[in-house]
Structure 1
Amino acid sequence: MQPQEIEPLFTRNDGSYLCARWGRPLVPIVFGVEDETLSVIKGAFEAVCSLAGAKMAETDPELGANVMVFFFRDWAELLEVPDLGRLIEDLEPLVAKLQAADANQYRAFRFDQQGAIKAAFVFLRVDEALAAQPAEELALAQVVQVMLLWSERAFAERSALGVLEDGRVVLRPEIGALLRAAYDPVMPAQASDASHALRLSARIGVKG
């Protein structure tokens, strides 16, 4: 990938550049799905973390679980989740905003002192569009979107996923290469200068 292809993936709506990766092992927990779907989501986390060179663990010493994924039918259900308002700032106005926008997903991140991701919250309102997606495809797409702090519109026009000739849905090779580059130990945990895109492009070239 060329720098001019990478830069928009981390350029916010206000024009600023910001990319961050996890600074600790991921410990996901999923609410609102059956065991069969749970195993699919866990498998997606394992596959993407292995690809990127990120780690997973059984527990986070500070938070217990640090990736919380919620599946539900109505945004109002979030207001009934015990203590969620302590984890998500201004939960009530956020829910009202998401209801008004008829949104079907939302992600929130928390960061450590070095600017690395230390927690992620994924909220998925299962509307017709999400319900129509195969579980493997939905899980893979959601995991990719919590691996890095992408821009708001990073995958709005083109999905992070691609379809093989046999119909299997996989991560696009260039996105996989970008993840590996971002998780290279020589790269910073967080970057706010667009020159970071140049470095990512160079790392992708080094790794072939």
Structure 2
Amino acid sequence: MTPAAAPGEARVRAFFTRSGGGYRFARWGRPQVPAIFGAAPEAERALTEALRAVAALSPHGVAAEDRELGANALVFLAERWADLREVRGLPRLVPDLDRLADVLGATGANQYRIFDFDGRGAIRLCITLLCVDDDLARLPLPALALSQAAMGMLLWSDRAFLSESPVALLEGGRVILRPEIAAVLRAAYDPELPDASLDPAHAAALAARIGAEGEGP
């Protein structure tokens, strides 16, 4: 692993420190079961493949069904936030959907994630809402799909990807996770670490595992 791929403790801590203060980390505690709504067939395939590929970084991977929820990694696409109000079943999943759609439209956001957690604090459900505005429409589909998969893999800080995407575009149109993001994801699912943590010292444990991975045998 190159030095650029091995973020130190401060960088790792920033990935999970909320804008309002406080450290909060959570990872999936079960297999992911993707379901995509409102996407054209090509986009649906790309999103599903990306979710499956990134989920493979965890020991849980993916499954055909969640016995409790059916599907638990849900992605909804719309051309306008207001259109989400017409999606059957979504108001039941997002009870305050009308107000949320108004707020997201007013702020010019183009994506929003909702997480739910089990009794241990592990992620049990992630709902990704995408408003495909001009900015998202300009992204190559593989980049959009892979970035969304990465952002739903952990409870990242709300500031984690404001200035830089979790993915990198290579020559020839190939898309990969940025090395430091891939390194954090691999370390985050170390079975010796907890599924959730509010302790900033958790970042030190993550950074130590990333550093050990970079040293190699």
TM, length-normalised to structure 1: 0.95
Query: What residue is the counterpart of 2:63 in the other structure?
Result: 57
Deviations 1:4-46 (CA, angstroms, capped at 9, x unpaired): 1111110011111001000000001001112222221121112
| Matches of 2:36 and 2:172, distance apart in 1 | 30
Q: Does the 8 Å contact 1:28/1:68 carry over to 2?
A: yes
Q: How does 1:15-30 map to 2 (within 5 A)?
A: 15-30=21-36
Number of residue equivalences: 208
1:102 to 90, 108, 131: 108
Match of 1:73 among 79, 82, 86: 79
Tell whether the 8 Å contact from 1:52 to 1:176 is kept in structure 2 after alignment.
Answer: no
CA RMSD in angstroms, aligned pairs only: 1.3
Which residue identity does 1:148 align to in structure 2? L
User: Match for residue 184 of structure 2?
Assistant: 178
State the distance in 2 between where 1:164 and 1:84 align.
Answer: 36
The answer to whether the 8 A contact 2:143-2:169 is kept is no
- Identity level (%): 48
What is residue 11 of structure 1 aligned with on the other side? 17
Map residues 144-159 of structure 1 onto 2, 5 A cutoff: 144-159=150-165
Partner of 1:141: 147
The answer as to whether partners of 2:27 and 2:196 remain within 8 angstroms in 1 is yes
Q: Note if 1:34 corresponds to 2:50.
A: no
Secondary structure of the residue aligned to 1:187 is coil
Give yes or no for contact 1:54–1:183 (8 Å, CA) kept in 2: no
Match of residue 86 from structure 1:
92
Q: Equivalent residue of 1:154, what SS?
A: coil
Structure 1 contact 10–19 (Cα < 8 Å) conserved: yes
Unaligned runs of 5+ in 2: 1-6
Provide the secondary structure at the position in 2 that maps to 1:207. helix
Cα distance in 1 between the residues matched to 2:113 and 2:168: 22
Structure-1 separation of matches of 2:60 and 2:81 = 31
Runs of 4+ in 1 over 6 A off after TM superposition: none
Unaligned runs of 5+ in 1: none
**TM-fit CA distance, 1:166:** 4.3
Q: CA deviation at 1:159?
A: 1.4
Q: Deviations over 1:40-67 (max 9, x none)?
A: 1121112212234441000000010001
